[in-house]
Amino acid sequence: MPFCDAHLHLADFTDAEGSITLARGAKILLYSASTNLRDSARNLELARGSPDLIKAFVGVHPSDAAKGLDEKELESLSTRATGVGEVGLDPKYSAVTERSEQLRIFRVQLEIAERLGRPVQVHSRGAGEACLDNLESFDPPSVLLHWFEGSELVPRAAAKGYYVSFGPAILYSKKLAGIAKSYPRNLILTESDAPVTYSPLGEAVSGPSLIPSVVFFLSQLLGLDFAEMALTVSENSRRYLEGKKG
Protein backbone atom coordinates (compact mmCIF):
# COMPACT_ATOMS: atom_id res chain seq x y z
CA MET A 1 0.00 0.00 0.00
CA PRO A 2 1.48 3.39 -0.91
CA PHE A 3 -0.26 5.27 1.96
CA CYS A 4 -1.08 4.66 5.60
CA ASP A 5 -3.59 6.26 7.94
CA ALA A 6 -1.84 5.17 11.12
CA HIS A 7 -4.49 6.49 13.51
CA LEU A 8 -8.23 6.76 12.94
CA HIS A 9 -11.38 5.49 14.64
CA LEU A 10 -13.41 3.39 12.21
CA ALA A 11 -15.79 2.34 14.99
CA ASP A 12 -16.94 5.99 15.25
CA PHE A 13 -17.81 6.34 11.55
CA THR A 14 -21.46 6.55 10.54
CA ASP A 15 -20.55 4.88 7.24
CA ALA A 16 -17.46 2.80 7.92
CA GLU A 17 -18.06 0.53 4.93
CA GLY A 18 -18.16 3.48 2.51
CA SER A 19 -14.92 4.92 3.90
CA ILE A 20 -13.25 1.51 3.78
CA THR A 21 -14.19 1.17 0.10
CA LEU A 22 -12.74 4.64 -0.61
CA ALA A 23 -9.54 3.82 1.30
CA ARG A 24 -9.15 0.59 -0.64
CA GLY A 25 -9.49 2.48 -3.93
CA ALA A 26 -6.94 5.09 -2.83
CA LYS A 27 -4.61 2.37 -1.46
CA ILE A 28 -4.54 3.69 2.11
CA LEU A 29 -3.82 1.18 4.88
CA LEU A 30 -5.91 1.81 8.04
CA TYR A 31 -4.71 1.35 11.64
CA SER A 32 -7.96 1.69 13.54
CA ALA A 33 -7.77 2.74 17.21
CA SER A 34 -10.36 2.17 19.93
CA THR A 35 -11.85 4.37 22.65
CA ASN A 36 -13.41 1.60 24.77
CA LEU A 37 -13.94 -2.15 24.75
CA ARG A 38 -17.08 -1.94 22.60
CA ASP A 39 -15.08 -0.13 19.87
CA SER A 40 -12.33 -2.67 20.31
CA ALA A 41 -14.68 -5.54 19.44
CA ARG A 42 -15.98 -3.54 16.45
CA ASN A 43 -12.44 -2.86 15.18
CA LEU A 44 -11.59 -6.55 15.42
CA GLU A 45 -14.70 -7.35 13.39
CA LEU A 46 -13.80 -4.75 10.71
CA ALA A 47 -10.22 -6.04 10.55
CA ARG A 48 -11.48 -9.61 10.17
CA GLY A 49 -13.53 -8.48 7.17
CA SER A 50 -10.57 -6.71 5.45
CA PRO A 51 -7.37 -8.13 6.95
CA ASP A 52 -5.15 -6.76 4.17
CA LEU A 53 -6.45 -3.20 4.63
CA ILE A 54 -7.41 -2.75 8.31
CA LYS A 55 -5.30 -3.39 11.41
CA ALA A 56 -7.19 -3.32 14.73
CA PHE A 57 -5.85 -1.58 17.83
CA VAL A 58 -7.80 -2.28 21.02
CA GLY A 59 -7.83 -0.34 24.26
CA VAL A 60 -9.33 2.33 26.47
CA HIS A 61 -8.77 6.03 25.69
CA PRO A 62 -8.07 8.54 28.50
CA SER A 63 -11.60 9.94 27.90
CA ASP A 64 -13.09 6.61 29.07
CA ALA A 65 -10.48 5.60 31.62
CA ALA A 66 -12.33 6.97 34.65
CA LYS A 67 -15.10 4.43 33.93
CA GLY A 68 -12.71 1.60 34.81
CA LEU A 69 -11.45 -1.33 32.79
CA ASP A 70 -12.22 -5.04 32.54
CA GLU A 71 -8.60 -6.12 32.33
CA LYS A 72 -9.33 -9.77 31.47
CA GLU A 73 -11.56 -8.71 28.60
CA LEU A 74 -8.96 -6.28 27.26
CA GLU A 75 -6.28 -8.92 27.45
CA SER A 76 -8.45 -11.38 25.54
CA LEU A 77 -9.22 -8.75 22.85
CA SER A 78 -5.51 -7.84 22.68
CA THR A 79 -4.50 -11.39 21.83
CA ARG A 80 -6.61 -11.08 18.66
CA ALA A 81 -5.52 -7.49 17.81
CA THR A 82 -2.55 -6.08 15.93
CA GLY A 83 -1.86 -3.52 18.63
CA VAL A 84 -2.98 -1.70 21.77
CA GLY A 85 -4.45 1.81 21.51
CA GLU A 86 -5.57 4.44 21.90
CA VAL A 87 -4.10 4.60 25.37
CA GLY A 88 -2.48 7.51 27.16
CA LEU A 89 -3.00 10.44 29.48
CA ASP A 90 -5.01 13.65 29.15
CA PRO A 91 -5.81 15.88 32.14
CA LYS A 92 -8.75 17.36 30.20
CA TYR A 93 -10.86 14.25 30.91
CA SER A 94 -10.06 13.35 34.54
CA ALA A 95 -7.26 13.74 37.07
CA VAL A 96 -3.81 12.50 36.13
CA THR A 97 -2.12 11.99 39.49
CA GLU A 98 -0.04 9.22 41.01
CA ARG A 99 -3.16 7.46 42.38
CA SER A 100 -5.59 8.32 39.59
CA GLU A 101 -7.60 5.69 37.74
CA GLN A 102 -6.47 7.25 34.46
CA LEU A 103 -2.80 6.64 35.23
CA ARG A 104 -3.46 3.13 36.57
CA ILE A 105 -5.34 2.13 33.41
CA PHE A 106 -2.63 3.55 31.14
CA ARG A 107 -0.04 1.45 32.98
CA VAL A 108 -2.18 -1.71 32.92
CA GLN A 109 -2.49 -1.37 29.14
CA LEU A 110 1.23 -0.75 28.66
CA GLU A 111 1.93 -3.88 30.68
CA ILE A 112 -0.41 -5.93 28.45
CA ALA A 113 1.23 -4.50 25.30
CA GLU A 114 4.68 -5.34 26.62
CA ARG A 115 3.72 -8.87 27.69
CA LEU A 116 1.88 -9.71 24.44
CA GLY A 117 4.43 -7.89 22.26
CA ARG A 118 1.96 -5.44 20.68
CA PRO A 119 2.75 -1.97 19.25
CA VAL A 120 0.98 0.85 21.13
CA GLN A 121 -0.71 4.08 20.02
CA VAL A 122 -0.42 6.86 22.60
CA HIS A 123 -2.53 9.97 23.20
CA SER A 124 -0.46 12.52 25.13
CA ARG A 125 -2.32 15.85 24.96
CA GLY A 126 -1.35 18.04 27.91
CA ALA A 127 0.65 15.20 29.45
CA GLY A 128 3.59 14.59 27.14
CA GLU A 129 6.17 14.35 29.88
CA ALA A 130 4.07 12.04 32.08
CA CYS A 131 3.40 9.82 29.05
CA LEU A 132 7.11 9.50 28.29
CA ASP A 133 7.91 8.85 31.98
CA ASN A 134 5.46 5.93 32.01
CA LEU A 135 6.34 4.61 28.56
CA GLU A 136 9.96 4.40 29.64
CA SER A 137 9.12 2.05 32.51
CA PHE A 138 7.62 -0.50 30.07
CA ASP A 139 8.99 -2.05 26.93
CA PRO A 140 6.33 -2.50 24.24
CA PRO A 141 7.91 -3.42 20.89
CA SER A 142 7.10 -0.09 19.24
CA VAL A 143 5.39 3.16 20.22
CA LEU A 144 3.41 5.66 18.15
CA LEU A 145 2.83 9.11 19.67
CA HIS A 146 -0.23 10.26 17.77
CA TRP A 147 -0.90 14.03 17.25
CA PHE A 148 2.19 14.70 19.39
CA GLU A 149 2.58 18.36 20.32
CA GLY A 150 5.45 18.28 22.81
CA SER A 151 8.08 20.28 20.90
CA GLU A 152 10.32 20.36 23.97
CA LEU A 153 10.19 16.55 24.25
CA VAL A 154 11.30 15.87 20.66
CA PRO A 155 14.91 14.87 21.52
CA ARG A 156 13.74 12.50 24.26
CA ALA A 157 11.02 10.81 22.14
CA ALA A 158 13.33 10.52 19.12
CA ALA A 159 16.13 9.02 21.22
CA LYS A 160 13.73 6.28 22.36
CA GLY A 161 12.84 5.50 18.74
CA TYR A 162 9.18 6.44 19.18
CA TYR A 163 7.22 7.05 15.99
CA VAL A 164 5.15 10.24 15.61
CA SER A 165 2.12 10.55 13.33
CA PHE A 166 1.18 13.86 11.73
CA GLY A 167 -2.38 14.61 10.66
CA PRO A 168 -4.27 17.24 8.67
CA ALA A 169 -3.62 19.85 11.41
CA ILE A 170 -0.05 20.08 10.12
CA LEU A 171 -1.44 21.83 7.02
CA TYR A 172 -2.07 24.96 9.14
CA SER A 173 -0.15 24.44 12.42
CA LYS A 174 3.34 25.97 12.48
CA LYS A 175 4.03 24.14 15.74
CA LEU A 176 3.35 20.72 14.20
CA ALA A 177 5.37 21.62 11.10
CA GLY A 178 8.27 22.56 13.39
CA ILE A 179 8.09 19.18 15.14
CA ALA A 180 7.97 17.30 11.81
CA LYS A 181 10.96 19.24 10.56
CA SER A 182 13.06 18.35 13.59
CA TYR A 183 11.88 14.73 13.94
CA PRO A 184 13.95 11.86 12.45
CA ARG A 185 12.56 11.07 9.01
CA ASN A 186 12.54 7.32 9.66
CA LEU A 187 10.05 7.80 12.54
CA ILE A 188 7.39 9.88 10.75
CA LEU A 189 3.90 8.47 10.08
CA THR A 190 0.63 10.02 8.84
CA GLU A 191 -2.86 9.93 10.36
CA SER A 192 -6.33 11.43 9.95
CA ASP A 193 -7.72 10.77 13.48
CA ALA A 194 -11.04 10.51 11.63
CA PRO A 195 -13.87 11.12 12.16
CA VAL A 196 -12.26 14.25 13.69
CA THR A 197 -12.79 17.32 11.50
CA TYR A 198 -10.49 20.35 11.18
CA SER A 199 -12.29 23.68 11.20
CA PRO A 200 -9.58 25.57 9.23
CA LEU A 201 -10.08 22.99 6.45
CA GLY A 202 -13.90 23.19 6.53
CA GLU A 203 -16.22 21.04 8.60
CA ALA A 204 -17.01 18.68 5.73
CA VAL A 205 -13.41 17.57 5.34
CA SER A 206 -12.37 14.45 7.24
CA GLY A 207 -11.13 10.93 6.77
CA PRO A 208 -8.29 8.92 5.26
CA SER A 209 -8.65 10.72 1.92
CA LEU A 210 -6.71 13.60 3.56
CA ILE A 211 -3.59 11.41 3.89
CA PRO A 212 -2.06 12.16 0.45
CA SER A 213 -2.34 15.92 1.23
CA VAL A 214 -0.45 15.38 4.49
CA VAL A 215 2.23 13.39 2.63
CA PHE A 216 2.48 16.17 0.05
CA PHE A 217 2.87 18.80 2.77
CA LEU A 218 5.58 16.72 4.49
CA SER A 219 7.41 16.28 1.18
CA GLN A 220 7.52 20.05 0.67
CA LEU A 221 8.56 20.64 4.27
CA LEU A 222 11.38 18.08 4.18
CA GLY A 223 12.54 18.74 0.63
CA LEU A 224 11.68 15.31 -0.80
CA ASP A 225 9.64 14.52 -3.85
CA PHE A 226 6.14 13.20 -3.27
CA ALA A 227 6.86 9.57 -4.22
CA GLU A 228 9.95 9.47 -2.01
CA MET A 229 8.00 10.87 0.96
CA ALA A 230 5.12 8.42 0.41
CA LEU A 231 7.59 5.51 0.30
CA THR A 232 9.38 6.69 3.45
CA VAL A 233 6.10 6.96 5.40
CA SER A 234 4.89 3.63 4.07
CA GLU A 235 8.08 1.86 5.16
CA ASN A 236 8.00 3.58 8.56
CA SER A 237 4.38 2.42 9.02
CA ARG A 238 5.33 -1.17 8.22
CA ARG A 239 8.27 -1.16 10.65
CA TYR A 240 6.08 0.32 13.38
CA LEU A 241 3.45 -2.39 12.85
CA GLU A 242 6.09 -5.12 12.90
CA GLY A 243 7.15 -3.84 16.31
CA LYS A 244 10.51 -2.55 15.19
CA LYS A 245 11.86 0.43 17.10
CA GLY A 246 12.98 3.28 14.90
User: Could you list the residues that contact Zn ion (CB under 5 A)?
Assistant: 86, 193
CB of 9 to Zn ion, least distance (A): 6
CB of 226 to Zn ion, least distance (A): 26
CB of 7 to Zn ion, least distance (A): 6
What are the strands, taking DSSP E only, across 111-224? 120-123, 143-146, 163-166, 188-190
Q: Among all residues, whose Cβ is closest to Zn ion?
A: 193
CA gap 239, 163 in Å, rounded:
10
Q: Which is nearer to Zn ion, 5 or 86 (CB)?
A: 86
CA gap 58, 74 in Å, rounded:
8
Angle (CA) 216 169 192, round 5°: 75
The three state secondary structure string of 218-243 is HHHHHCCCHHHHHHHHHHHHHHHHCC
Q: Which is nearer to Zn ion, 39 or 86 (CB)?
A: 86
Q: Which is nearer to Zn ion, 86 or 90 (CB)?
A: 86
CB of 201 to Zn ion, least distance (A): 17
CA gap 90, 94 in Å, rounded:
7
Q: Which is nearer to Zn ion, 10 or 110 (CB)?
A: 10
Q: Which is nearer to Zn ion, 7 or 239 (CB)?
A: 7
- Torsion sign over Cα 42, 48, 53, 59: positive
Report the Cα 180 to chain-centroid distance in Å: 15
CA gap 63, 115 in Å, rounded:
24
Residue 207 per-residue DSSP state? S
CA gap 32, 232 in Å, rounded:
21
Q: Which is nearer to Zn ion, 38 or 115 (CB)?
A: 38
CB of 193 to Zn ion, least distance (A): 5
CB of 220 to Zn ion, least distance (A): 25
